[in-house]
Chains A and B, each alone.
Chain A
Amino acid sequence: MAHPYMPNSTPETKATMMRAVGVSDVDELFEQIPADHLAAKPLALAAGVKSEAVVDRTLRRLLRRDTGCAENLNFLGAGCWQHYVPAVCDEIAGRSEFLTPVWGTPSSDHGRNQAWFEFTSQLGELVGMEFVGLPVYSWGAAAGHAIRMAARLTGRREVLVPDTIDPERLAVIRTYCGAGELGDPIAVITVPHDPATGRVDLAALTAAISDSTAAVYLETPTYLGVIEADAAAVAALARRHGAETIVGVDPISLGVLLPPSEYGADIVVGTTQPLGVHLNAGGGVGGFIATRDEERYAREYPTLQVSLCDTRVPGERAFGMTLFHQTSYGSREDGNDWTGNSVYLWAVVNAVYLALMGPRGFAEIGETILAGSAHAARRIAEVPGVAVRWTSGFFKEFVVDFTGTGKTVAEINETLRSRGIFGGKDLSADFPDLGQSALYCVTEIHTEDDITALVGALTEAVSA
């Protein structure tokens, strides 16, 4: 029987092609491969299942065992955040023209190139930068590339990062910065935070920065949710030492928070996942790099970029690749870092989300998240033995300290889970100084009833 995915798998078509090629056995076509290279034994895999209904049932049987954030009340964030995804985002993400292609010409893939340009243009408005690359794999990848850009720009090999950084993201950054005695690795130096505020400790940063510092990498809000109120002072300090200021942001905050360009950022990086992309078990992450439109920065991008340009027809617009030669596609090992497949489909989805939200949507969602997370923090802090580490000046996420309950976060979360609630990310292993703490995430999807349910379950959990 022919396979539904393979139109040429009928005996007649195969015979036609074999006749044309002049072989009587397909094995003849593999004559280049020496016999002693061939697989020692046939594939020990089951025979194919040609019925889609059976494939569907088999996979669904496995996946239906799982439970996620649609069925449970979720307070996990920590690098991947549950925001509402408008239906139009899913509709466009599923369009075959965007879902399946590789690269066409600028004329035949004009629509997709325009969608990419609308992604970079709208993201540029949010972060306040005029030069924006096409996306990279993740926030960590974006930060890693940006730090390498800064190292090339300054000829220096040290970067200062806050010690409140997401350990997952820091691990990616370290991978990008090199290791051991090979080549010329970039030293990643963590700078302590002020325990009173959660913000970077300016005195410690001042002590750590030197003429060897390529960049200061700052995040706002931080991994622990804190808004870096001293961001301008940090950028000024970096500038005095000839270092670049790289700021990592969650763009969904930028309807209410100042764009990094306005407090001195040279390179802005961050996540794209909150902009209309589902959690996807971590498969929704994406990152971006943005700078001022200055040649000095533009020439260090490792990414591909689309640029609005002309066509042979006067007045007609197209979108072409700019600075292609400096990528690894153009110059192999002489290019800037490397590029390849990334999360280009998500860039289209991000463009849709940005357009749907508009300036008012971003202002409103920012206010809703600020209010909801503040409300939740205040009420959680009323649970006996539970404290909120930094009670003001945060966005979306905040640290809840359970040390006073005598219970571990793992125990609390297990109880919550049995009540259909995913408690905050356990920080106790990664941030031992914070005791038995968890990072709670409250977004626009949470209602007052949700917070009431959480507080009720927490009250039971701490006394259980």
Chain B
Amino acid sequence: MNLRRYHAAVWDEPLIMEQGAPGRRGSVPPAPIEATTDLVPAGMRRVVPPALPEVAEPDVLRHYLHLSQQTMGMVGISLFGTCTMKYNPRVNERLAAEIADVHPHQDDSTVQGLLEIVHEFDLVLRELSGMDRFVFQAGGGAAAAYLHACVTRAYHESRGELARRTEIITTSQAHPCNPATAAAAGFDVITLPVEEDGYPSVAALRAAVSDRTAALMVNNPDDMGIYNPHIKEWVDIVHEAGGLCFYDHANFNGVMSRIRAAELGFDACMFMLHKTFGVPKGGGGPAVGAYGCTAALEPFLPGPLVERTEDGYVRRENPGGIGRVREFLGNVPQVVKAYSWVLAMGADGIREAADLSVLANNYMEQRLLAIPGVTKSFDHLTGRRLEMTRFSLGTYTAETGVTAVDVQNRMTDFGVDAFWLSHEPWIVPEPFTPEAGETWSIEDVDYWIDVLEHVLAEGRSDPETVRTAPHNQVVAQIDGSSLDDPARWATTWRAYQRKNAR
């Protein structure tokens, strides 16, 4: 293998608060229309100016350019599993900029094109899922999970059963946002552990379900790439008990066009436009958790809903719904980008993307499992995994003392972005979860594997180099000892200066 010579940009960039000089200006607002006497009520005027930096415009630009260069992200190779790192078409950035200066309270007549896109994209997601209506208000997947918990609350309240239906069932392989949002909405959480087959048994579900069951919140396939073949039976069991079933479609990429949530019996589902639908992640948003449900749950959706009428597209409130989970329609620029992505991909492209992502994962798997020390979660299961596989470095760590985090750090020295380990709880020791998706070339996938192979070999011959990695990065490995210490943590420069004053 021939690894690239790589070194991250190092600018030793001071904080912006340490830069500039008194009197320098970066942005000058327009002068007031007229001179005024004091318009601020007594006692409410600021006396001490905020201690912000005074930096000239070119220096601000160059500072943040330096910071961008000191961020690897997808400029390297990012196979961050569970997040479906795929190409974000730049044409969509340009298109979404068309609505940069649109105000959310503008009259519907002025935004017919945008409302048509929102409605048409709703129809696309209905076709992909079989659901009857989508809303885009939730600002991420976790927000969509919370929205579902709130819809569940409203649904059971409308039936006079909320006092009794206090439990939401999930699994240990569901994303943490599912139990967390259920609890935040006031439910008690029952988490089913994974069993021998890679998922909780039907018997375990039956034992957990009762007339207290409000809902089931699950993903499928899970983050190990394992598909629960009993999911229709699960849905039936929960329905028989009077509960709702929510499909967290975070891992949709591998099953696009093959699975429809509504056909499996689910009442609601969620797609992440910033994962599956080609919308950039922005380092964690702005994002969209597109929430779809059957007609039975529509009355509980938050407003406003976008509808096509004889007089054009309108936004209407949804009386009796949960109100709002976030202000306005949602991150609609991301809806525009996702709609554009679907146009470009089409039915054939979506099918091909699912095929390629599963093919690429299986390609990775056969190469990775040939590397000494790499094992597969639940490796007694013979079925081919879907768009990702969870691996373990448990035996490797036992042999070398080098951990998955060490390996992750060392891989960044070769221009490879961090891999994902696992959400809590870890089911296998020293986990790692790559996801190749459909937009990383076979050359990039091979390079990623070459780097891992190199690092694992290095960890046997020279473990110290791996344990002390990275060495070619912007900064060295962090010393996290201060992070949870109230006397030392510092989320602002002012706090840092106070705590470190001599």
Contacts and interface: CB of A to CB of B under 8 A. Distances in A.
A440 interface: no
A310 interface: yes
A285 to B, nearest CB: 6
Top 10 A-B pairs, shortest CB-CB distance: A183-B186, A101-B73, A340-B142, A48-B346, A282-B328, A111-B70, A345-B282, A282-B104, A328-B180, A341-B140
B346 A340 contact: no
B203 interface: no
B32 A367 contact: yes
B72 interface: yes
Interface stretch (A15-23, A211-219, A453-461): A15-23
A386 interface: no
Contacts of A43: 127-128, 257, 347, 350-351
A130 B492 contact: yes
B127 A178 contact: no
A408 interface: no
Contacts of A232: 43
A63 to B, nearest CB: 4
B268 interface: no
B399 interface: no
A227 B424 contact: no
Interface of A is mostly: mixed
Given A59-B343, A110-B473, A361-B29, A280 B102 contact: yes
B340 interface: yes
Given A5-B278, A32-B229, A375 B139 contact: no
Contacts of A44: 127, 347
B409 to A, nearest CB: 6
Given A282-B328, A331-B424, A6 B438 contact: yes
B355 interface: yes
A23 B278 CA distance: 28
Given A99-B280, A117-B491, A413-B107, 10 more contacts: A6-B352, A32-B385, A52-B344, A66-B98, A102-B83, A138-B139, A325-B484, A371-B33, A371-B34, A447-B30
A227 B52 contact: no
B153 A182 contact: yes
Contacts of B495: 124, 130-131, 293
B226 to A, nearest CB: 7
B360 A8 contact: yes
Nearest to A304: B284
Contacts of A120: 491-492
B450 to A, nearest CB: 15
Contacts of A417: 107, 109-110
A202 B331 CA distance: 37
A14 B353 CA distance: 12
5 contacts: A6-B353, A279-B100, A342-B284, A365-B29, A367-B32
B138 to A, nearest CB: 8
Contacts of A13: 441-442
Contact of A182 (B49, B186, B302): B186
Contacts of A175: 150, 302, 322-325
Given A101-B281, A340-B141, A361-B25, A329 B424 contact: yes
B263 A39 contact: yes
Most-contacted residue by chain B among A86, A98, A332, A393 (CB, 10 A): A332
Contact of B73 (A96, A138, A180, A316): A96
B142 A104 contact: no
Interface string A109-144: 111101101101110111001111110011111000
Contacts of B251: none
